[in-house]
Amino acid sequence: MRSALSQAPHFLSTLTKETIVKNSLFVGGLAALIAVSSSAYAAKPASDKEKFSYAIGYQIGQGFKRDNLEIDTKTMSQAINDALADKAPQLSIDEMRAAMETAQKKLLAARAAEGEKAKAAGKAFLAANKKKKGVITTKSGLQYKVITVGKGKQPKADSNITAHYKGTLINGQEFDSSYRRNQPATFNVGQVIAGWKEVLPLMHEGDKWQVFIPAELAYGERGSGNAIGPNETLIFEIELLKVN
């Protein structure tokens, strides 16, 4: 799970990036790194400089699209060219700051709305899921279902363990999988999100469980990177291989 150990699996604790702020700072730094042409490439970028420029621009574009930010690429290109040419900006510092603040407010409002929608969907999912055969609900609201029963030892709160896992959203979208990487993860129980901290000590070596984690026991309102939005209920398939 490439988001759990800080940029590792998605069961560990990580913080989301503020796309507007980071992208705006990056674009600012871009002016000092590369020359940008206002005309589009007619052919595939060939030189190292062209490839680097394209790669940076593509990543920034992906971030804007992912966060549903409306960008005028022509104006943005002109601004970068103005900075490269040491021209005076066409907007004052105050005007640019106000524009950034307005965009950030819109992004935060959209994210809040997204979070409320995810929270409602998660509650509805868990309410229906707890009625299914074999699903056990704990006092915290976490749910799990035993798939395979193991007979090995149980980890403690500070144990190092090795496990295979797969994480999905309630819509089935996979955001992380050690199975896909064909490599189990080894980590300390104390490093993981609250839902994992609760469920791992209940498991035995050889156990394979499906675990349903409410948002407040996962990444809460912040979400995690771009894979997990705010207030997302998460589903993990956890196979406890070894207590080290």
- 94 among known catalytic residues: no
Residue 185: both structure tokens together: 């993860």
Residues whose CB is less than 8 angstroms from the CB of residue 129 and which lie 6 or more positions away in sequence, other chains included: 135, 143, 212
* Catalytic hit among 219, 228, 235, 238: 219
129, 136, 137, 159, 212 from 140: Cα distances, Å: 15, 11, 8, 22, 12
Least Cα distance to 238 among 182, 162, 171 occurs for 162
**Euclidean distance between CA atoms 113 and 116, whole angstroms:** 5
Provide the b/e sequence for 91-119 (b: ≥16 CB within 10 Å).
eeeeeeeeeeeebeeebeeebeebbeebb
Active site residue 80: no
DSSP state of 91: S
Residue of 80, 193, 213, 228 marked active site: 193
Residue 165: active-site member = yes
Residues forming beta bridges with residue 165, ordered by sequence position: 238
Instruction: Judge whether 52 counts as a catalytic residue.
Output: no
54 flagged as catalytic: no
Catalytic residue (choose from 11, 125, 176, 213)? 176
Q: Tell me which of 165, 207, 213, 228 is the catalytic residue.
A: 165
Catalytic residue status for 26: no
Which residue in the list 11, 125, 175, 212 is annotated as catalytic?
175
What positions carry a catalytic annotation?
165, 175-176, 193, 219, 236
